[in-house]
Structure 1
Amino acid sequence: MTNNENITAATATVVATTGLTLVLAGTGKTGRRVAERLEARGVPVRIGSRSAATGFDWTDESTWAPALEGVAAVYLAYVPDLAVPGAPEAVRAFTGAAVAAGVRRIVLLSGRGEEEARASEDIVREAGPEWTIVRASWFAQNFTEDYLLEPVLGGEVVLPAGDVPEPFVDAGDIADVAVAALTEDGHAGRVYELTGPRALTFAEAVAEIGRAAGREIAYVPVPLEDYAAVLKEHQVPQEYVGFLTYLFGTVLDGRNAEPQDGVRRALGREATDFADFAAAAAATGVWNA
């Protein structure tokens, strides 16, 4: 074991013996990976979700106290996103409950370039416990675990993304940074902007997926209004439609096009390239038509 590994293991042991780590959205893209990595380090984890043994529901405050009992650290991921109306109020109430329960460390998942999320970031900063903010760019795993998987499988990805580049980030990198901030010293009071090492347009990303999967996948740009109308026709919940149109119509305007070094700053290694993500995903067969 290297000295760094010894330090990490020792710190994880301290956390493990002094309390649980609550992972909110613990069955989601990042939360699931955070929980798996913590458990691999021997850190006791409580999953925060409605289906968990100790249920947690953002819309039911009566579930918060049982979920926070005995918890020393929290991975705070608000569902569906910090940019939606009502998020700051919920985050303020939850962080107050967390402080009252004795939580000593909070790692907040935030959205890169989402001005509406800054209110929740400020709330966590001012709450009292040690804090780390993780601002993530667009998840590469949206193409494997979310609303873009079905279009990829169908051979045609229709989006209102235009030709604006985005430095897609691997959810594994987000989880690695979050786990480091939850279990190690040196991350308190830091804001990490997490991106991949290069920016791609959605058309370029789809082309890389096609190459990795060994099949033809088309990218079709459409106006935002048409995209929203199709979502509504397919009975997508209005809240989700509003969030997607916000992402494509507001956040994807070029403000996030420049890759950042948050992964390197937090972990001392480079971020995962989209081509490596695509190759690994293709090897699992997730994109087999």
Structure 2
Amino acid sequence: MTTIGTVLVTAATGKTGRRVAQRLATGSADVRAGSRGGAVRFDWEDESTWEPALRGADAAYVNYFPDLAAPAAPQALRTFGRLAAGAGVRRLVLLSGRGEPEAVVAEGALRESGVDLTVVRAAFFAQNFSEGSFHEDVRAGEFAFPAGTTAEPFVDADDLADVVVAALTEPGHSGMVHELTGPRPVTFAEAAREIGRATGREVRYVPVEAGQYARILEGHGLPAPAAGWLADLFASLLDGHNATVTDDVERILGRAPKDFTEWVKETAASGTWDA
């Protein structure tokens, strides 16, 4: 591992940011964990927090919220990149999505900064069932999503974090686009059955249309425009075009990515899905 100095981790309390920060902290890096309420303030909705968080950093993990496909993302990433370059940041690693044309536009906007950039495009996280939007529904025994019968090669967020740390701290990643998946595609119905077997109770997947899912999100308190946009994004990503598997995790880390079944067994043993 190369000594990189100070690394800003944006969204450092989230699924990937937390894991990246933890791994960097065990090495030689000085971790600057940026979040809305932490010691290092960083908020994607408050541009005034960006430059102070970047000042003095050598590298940054860039995890844009809510998603790189959002309409505001290209301009935000363009501004962030300009500020990063001005602050003397030498390396950026950007979390992106697989098969998102709008996200590619945002990637290009950040690339305009001229700072060495590595893009990490990820499949749907396995942890969305245990830490994300499905968690409580899975515990309750039923979750809905606009994925139909499409299979997705769910990727373990721990594998992704290991790749991000490698890209931040090791040579050979500048200018690269890494596309991360798990070792095999799994349908959402199969995922529900796997979780059910591991927890010893029934877990059902209910396929819904994007409009129905938007109303579900609204019921959880999301404003209608945001709910509609997010539901349409999920439906477009889970139409089958992302079902292929890549070998990038193994190529970068020298080991196979964690299989979904193994991840489910480990997660069930942790008690996170206990009723």
Q: What are the ranges of 5 or more consecutive residues in structure 1 without an aligned counterpart?
A: 1-7
Amino acid aligned to 2:164: A
> Which residue number in structure 2 is paired with residue 127 of structure 1?
113
Amino acid aligned to 2:194: E
Once the two structures are TM-superposed, the CA of residue 237 in structure 1 deviates from its matched residue by: 3.1
In the alignment, the residues of structure 2 paired with residue 120 and residue 203 of structure 1 have an alpha-carbon distance, to the nearest angstrom, of 32
Alpha carbons 1:106, 1:130 under 8 Å: kept: yes
In the alignment, the residues of structure 2 paired with residue 283 and residue 51 of structure 1 have an alpha-carbon distance, to the nearest angstrom, of 31
Q: What are the ranges of 5 or more consecutive residues in structure 2 without an aligned counterpart?
A: none
Check if 1:166 corresponds to 2:159: no
Counterpart selection for 1:222 from 208, 225, 235: 208
Once the two structures are TM-superposed, the CA of residue 171 in structure 1 deviates from its matched residue by: 0.5
> Which residue number in structure 2 is paired with residue 15 of structure 1?
4
Counterpart selection for 1:62 from 48, 58, 64: 48
Name the SS for the 2:40 alignment partner: coil
Once the two structures are TM-superposed, the CA of residue 30 in structure 1 deviates from its matched residue by: 0.3
> Which residue number in structure 1 is paired with residue 233 of structure 2?
247
In the alignment, the residues of structure 2 paired with residue 184 and residue 95 of structure 1 have an alpha-carbon distance, to the nearest angstrom, of 21
Give TM-score, length-normalised by structure 2. 0.96
> Which residue number in structure 2 is paired with residue 145 of structure 1?
131
Check if 1:93 corresponds to 2:82: no
RMSD value, Cα = 1.3
In the alignment, the residues of structure 2 paired with residue 288 and residue 172 of structure 1 have an alpha-carbon distance, to the nearest angstrom, of 22
> Which residue number in structure 1 is paired with residue 25 of structure 2?
39
Name the SS for the 2:58 alignment partner: strand
In the alignment, the residues of structure 2 paired with residue 165 and residue 103 of structure 1 have an alpha-carbon distance, to the nearest angstrom, of 39
Alpha carbons 2:147, 2:239 under 8 Å: kept: no
Runs of 4+ in 1 over 6 A off after TM superposition: none
1:158-177 Cα offsets, whole Å, 9 max, x none, are 22211011001110011000
In the alignment, the residues of structure 1 paired with residue 226 and residue 33 of structure 2 have an alpha-carbon distance, to the nearest angstrom, of 24
% same residue: 56
In the alignment, the residues of structure 1 paired with residue 249 and residue 92 of structure 2 have an alpha-carbon distance, to the nearest angstrom, of 18
Give TM-score, length-normalised by structure 1. 0.92
Check if 1:198 corresponds to 2:187: no
Name the SS for the 2:151 alignment partner: coil
Name the SS for the 2:95 alignment partner: strand
Alpha carbons 2:75, 2:109 under 8 Å: kept: no
In the alignment, the residues of structure 2 paired with residue 284 and residue 243 of structure 1 have an alpha-carbon distance, to the nearest angstrom, of 34
Amino acid aligned to 2:44: W
Once the two structures are TM-superposed, the CA of residue 243 in structure 1 deviates from its matched residue by: 4.2
Q: 1:76 to 1:154 in 2, by over 3 A?
A: same
Once the two structures are TM-superposed, the CA of residue 240 in structure 1 deviates from its matched residue by: 4.3
Once the two structures are TM-superposed, the CA of residue 236 in structure 1 deviates from its matched residue by: 2.1
Name the SS for the 2:267 alignment partner: helix
In the alignment, the residues of structure 1 paired with residue 65 and residue 107 of structure 2 have an alpha-carbon distance, to the nearest angstrom, of 15
Choose between structure 1 and 2: higher helix proportion. Answer: 1
In the alignment, the residues of structure 1 paired with residue 220 and residue 93 of structure 2 have an alpha-carbon distance, to the nearest angstrom, of 35
Alpha carbons 1:33, 1:172 under 8 Å: kept: yes
